[in-house]
Amino acid sequence: MVSYYINNQIISGELKTSDCQKKLSICLETNGFSFTIINEKNKMLAFGDITCAFPETLSQIIVLIKQVFADLNIEYALMDEMELIISSNKSTWVPESLFDAKHTREYFKVLSPLEVRETVFHCYSERLEAYSVFTYLDTIVSAFKVAIPGIKLKSQHAKMLETPLLERSRMKTLVEVYVRKKEFDVAIFSNKTFLFSNTFKYNDKLDIAYFTLLAINKLNLNQANLELSISGKVDRDMFETMERFFPKVNLYTGSKVVFADNEMYKIPLYQYSMLLR
């Protein structure tokens, strides 16, 4: 048994009665996880934010997920699709025409040396006609696939492409910033074209503004016609800091969803935007 805290948890009665296809999304954190269950009509049927009381290893988080879902009576068999969203610090994009599944480790020889325990994974983006290639600990992924058969693995960079922002970037530049603990992810779109994604470490909020501006300047983008969407672990001070450096800033809450329970209106969606794509 793993001790845990429920920071927030809402399970709609429609979860068991709905005939629509359902998608379970789990976003892995270092000390817990969050999840949503959304049906094919974009209705949120369940939401949870769980923290492990004494996190020691990621393997313990796997035990925690199984225990929480058992306690909440959530059955994997009821899900038509399941995805595990992980945060990888080593990732790249490879066009479909150049992708070779047998030699994925080769893509990181120039980018970043791989550790022995790191395994390379990939997932396909129809929107880009390219593969997101990323690294993670093989033992953790294998344990998840055993614990939750049928679950698919996606990196945060691949999920950031599953967003309406790409279509909205016609005639302007849209920058998405997703803030995590000690790291943040940036994706840049302009004229309906994906230009850039990367992960940066930060010590304070000014680092987030600095590295984001650095990426924009390297791409020679006009800041006058730029809009920045920020989500994740964002507080008022961080948001106001970004407003000092960018002409237009908004909190990104993900794709629009309908709520099956009135309590869901209280969820700060911008903190969980990675689940709402």
Residue 120 reports pLDDT greater than 80: yes
Sign of CA dihedral 8, 13, 19, 20: negative
Average pLDDT, the chain: 89
Residue 29 reports pLDDT greater than 90: no
Distance, in Å, from the CA atom of 120 to the CA atom of 145, rounded to the nearest integer, reads 16
Q: 8: which 2 tokens?
A: 């927030």
What pTM, to 2 d.p., does this model score?
0.90
- Average the pLDDT over 30-50 and give the result: 93
| CATH 3.30.420.250-classified regions of the chain | 1-162+254-277
- Average the pLDDT over 160-182 and give the result: 86
Using left for φ > 0, alpha for ψ between -120 and 50, and beta otherwise, residue 127 falls in alpha
Residue 56 reports pLDDT greater than 80: no
SS3 of 216-275: the string is HHHCCCCHHHEEEEEEECCCHHHHHHHHHHCCCEEECCCCCCEECCHHHHHCCHHHHHHH
Of residues 62 and 204, the one with the higher pLDDT is 204
Domain 165-251 in CATH 3.30.420.260? The answer is yes
CATH number of 1-162+254-277: 3.30.420.250
Out of 30-34, 47-51, 173-177, 225-229, least confident range = 30-34
- Average the pLDDT over 86-115 and give the result: 87
Please report the beta strands in the chain, taking only residues with DSSP state E, as ranges in sequence order: 4-11, 22-29, 32-39, 43-52, 81-86, 91-95, 118-125, 130-137, 152-155, 173-179, 183-190, 193-201, 226-232, 249-251, 258-259
pLDDT digits (tens, 9 = 90+) for 195-245: 999 999 999 999 999 999 999 999 999 888 899 999 999 999 999 999 999
| CATH 3.30.420.260-classified regions of the chain | 165-251
Of residues 272 and 106, the one with the higher pLDDT is 272
